[in-house]
Structure 1
Amino acid sequence: MALCFQQEIGLVDDVIVDEQDIPAPAPPATILLQDIPVRGTLLPDVCSSLLVFVEAYPTNKGNARELEKRSCRLAFRGHDESDGSSNKGNFLELLHFLVDHNEDINVVTFKNTPLNLQMTSPKIQKNIVSCVATETTNALIREMDGALFSVLIDESCDISTKEQMAVVLRYVDKNGYVVERFVGIEHVSSTTAVSLKESLDNMFSRFGLSLSMLRGQGYDGASNMQGEFNGLKTLILEENESAYYVHCFAHQLQLALISVAKKHEEVNSLFNLVSMLVNVVGVSAKRRDILHEKHALAVTLKH
């Protein structure tokens, strides 16, 4: 499936070019959805047809507005993907859009296909995301072409209380531009320096990257990241003395803003009030239900 997406969707190299590297495009020809061919298997052709349409949408203004309306602010997967739902997520909404505008796709989609061949199940959608992520990441690594790079890392806990490590690579491309690429989120068993180092080594191994090519590392000021004796910074420096550490400027700015806010009486009072409100409501299911009811009532009255 990954090869299929590489060939059909063309995600590999075109998606990752910086704006300054892209020459001014010629005015695209008008392409109607009815004229987009459908070949072979359903899934790659739907995605390929969609990309052809998106590239041409400046001259398909009516369709473009509909496309934007359907895709804007929707997640790839929908919370409710039933037939009567008004928000099925980007994948199904865009597929419905193509069905409505292309009869060739309509005859081989949804109710016109056997239930076991619709290619719209949650598992299939996850496979699509996985394939796209793999091909995009491989394209990013090819774009680096063995260049020296730096790594930016931050770890946090998601809503399901899973510890995760976000990794960004920073390097200079062939045109001399400084480029930052987000390459993935790694689940980590703990946030100790040893665990983070192990996860980083595994990621580098998958992507074919060498720690010897690392020339910089940027993290927040947490002890497990920049600790002089057992921090992630120190563990990497033990293997590569050229991987210089820089305290993340974004985190420095955050610390400065927090310090300034604490000195401002009204701002400090606001954050204290919000913090107490979250604590009071968050610990009680009954209070959360009351808050949801009040919010729903306010939304209903507003409309």
Structure 2
Amino acid sequence: MKHSRSEYHLIALDNDKFRQQEGSVLNQIVTVNEAQKQENRDRLSDLLDCSYFLFKNELSHTTLYESLLQLISRLDHSSKLPIFIQNCHKNANYNSTTSVTELLEATNDILEKNILKKIQQARVISIMSDEGTDINRHGNLCICIRYCDQTTGEPTETYVSLLHIKNKDAESIFNYIVTDLQQKNIDLTKTRFVAFDGAAVFSGIHNGVAAKFRALFNLAILFIHCRAHALQLAVISAADSIPDICKSLSTLKSLVNFINRSSVRLTLFEDIQSIFKNNHIKLIQPGDTRWLSNSLAVRSVVHSYQSLLATL
């Protein structure tokens, strides 16, 4: 009884109660670590928001990312992001080109998984594809899928792949498309339509890409000729029968070539636009295989007509 009322015993009881309220050292460490983990996740979410803004608006993530972080840090009145970056190790502060590139790849992986999941859930699909040549004269093949979103019930068109190709014959293009989509676990037996341009490689009745899809996956697959391509062919055919239009387009091509193919004349044309305080307009080369090139070419000449006259 005497011991229970002693000063040392009472102090020990108070210390024990305090420890019970505070929890074990291990629990304290775990609690602090979990709080720190959540704080790190929140700050990484801020970094991802910044990088996604650049991706979404097609801005250069390799050159603008660090500057954007600095701006956001100055605007962050809570100072959480600046403190987070300051406390990071110098080799892991997440403001480098490597970090934003990794964020880009991670964003791409998540978006691609979500898109492919919706395509895989669709009952039927349509395949749209076209091949072309880039500025470096490398062959490219673009693949898009049209499907019905099982959640919203809305028809949806989505980009799936852009492939670099070496061969442009029907067999090679067919194999490129099939291999890529099968690697993405897309069931090609659900294909009901294929849409390409009217080139024989795609539309050939016996050996075209569309014919190969019918032969391998479903004889009921319908080939849809690209409407823009069909309309362009019709417009070109109609224009060829009108001499005035033919002469105008020929003159337009000659005029654009005369300016653009001479560095001296092109520089003079740009300087004159500056003197007239006009917006610098680039003359567009018209072409039969580009849907809007003729109208864009005419528009560029009309908008820079005064400068063109002075240049000539």
Deviations 1:265-284 (A, max 9, x none): 66544533443344445555
Distance 2:211 2:160 in 1: 23
**Shift in alpha-carbon separation, 1:42–1:181, aligned structure 2, 3 A:** same
Q: How far 1:116 sits from its partner (Å)?
A: 4.2
Cα distance in 1 for partners of 2:132, 2:222 equals 23
Q: Give deviations 1:228-265, integer Å, cap 9, x for gaps.
A: 23321122222022322111122212223333444556
Change (3 A) 1:274 1:235: same
Letter in 1 for 2:175: E
Higher relative contact order (CA 8 A, sep 6+): 1
Q: Structure 1: how far apart are the matches of 2:260 and 2:279?
A: 25
Point out the structure with the larger helix share: 2
Partners in 2 of 1:266 and 1:95 — Cα distance? 57
1:104 and 2:84 are equivalent in the alignment: no
Instruction: Report the Cα distance in structure 2 between the residues aligned to 1:155 and 1:262, rounded to whole angstroms.
Output: 26
Distance 1:127 1:270 in 2: 51
Matched, 1:208 2:194: no
Q: CA deviation at 1:212?
A: 1.5
One-letter identity of the residue aligned with 1:147: R
* Matching of residue 184 in structure 1 with residue 167 in structure 2: no
Kept after mapping to 2: 8 A contact 1:194/1:232: yes
Residue 217 of structure 1 pairs with residue 191 of structure 2: no
Question: In 1, Cα distance between the equivalents of 2:92 and 2:266?
Answer: 42
Deviation at 1:130, TM superposition (A): 3.0
Aligned-residue offset at 1:77: 1.1
1:167-182 matched pairs, under 5 angstroms: 167-174=143-150, 175-182=152-159
Check the 8 A contact 1:38/1:46 in 2, yes or no.
no
* The structure with more radius of gyration: 2
TM-score (normalizing by structure 1): 0.63
SS at match of 1:208: coil
Counterpart for residue 58 of structure 2? 75
SS at match of 2:40: coil
Of 103, 106, 112, the residue aligned with 1:137 is: 112
Considering only aligned residues, what root-mean-square deviation do their CA atoms show, in Å?
A: 3.7
Contact 2:182 2:188 in 1 (8 A): no
Match of 2:48 in 1: 47
Matches of 2:206 and 2:129 in 1, distance apart?
19
1:231 to 166, 183, 208: 208
How far residue 198 of structure 1 moved from its aligned partner, in angstroms, is: 2.0
Residue 250 in structure 1 maps to residue 228 in structure 2: yes
Secondary structure at the residue paired with 1:39? helix
In structure 2, stretches of 5+ residues that fail to align are 1-37, 281-312
Task: Map Cα deviations across residues 87-126 of structure 1 (whole Å, 9 max, x no partner).
Answer: x4xx4564344223213223445x9876644544445444
Is contact 1:77-1:125 (8 Å) kept?
Answer: no
Counterpart AA for 2:60: R
Gaps of at least 5 residues in structure 1 are 1-36, 52-66, 82-87
Question: 1:180 offset after TM fit, Å?
Answer: 1.3
State the match for 1:25 in structure 2: none
Go from structure 1 to structure 2 and tell me whether the alpha carbon gap of 1:219 and 1:47 turns closer, same or farther (over 3 Å shift): same
Cα distance between partner residues in 1 of 2:99 and 2:226: 38
Asked if the contact 1:38/1:45 (under 8 Å) is kept, the reply is: no
Deviation at 1:167, TM superposition (A): 1.2
Q: Structure 1 CA distance, aligned partners of 2:274 and 2:136?
A: 25
* Conserved? CA contact 1:38–1:49, under 8 Å: no
Deviation at 1:150, TM superposition (A): 0.7
The whole-number CA distance in structure 2 between the counterparts of 1:290 and 1:113 is: 53
Q: Secondary structure at the match of 1:183?
A: strand
Query: Contact (CA 8 Å) 1:46, 1:98: kept in 2 or not?
Result: no
Preserved CA contact (<8 Å) 2:200 2:208: yes
TM-fit CA distance, 1:215: 1.2
SS in structure 2 of the partner of residue 259 of structure 1: helix
Paired residues, number: 238
Q: Which whole-Å deviations, capped at 9, do the CAs of 1:9-57 have from their partners, x for residues lacking one?
A: xxxxxxxxxxxxxxxxxxxxxxxxxxxx952485443224888xxxxxx
Note if 1:163 corresponds to 2:163.
no
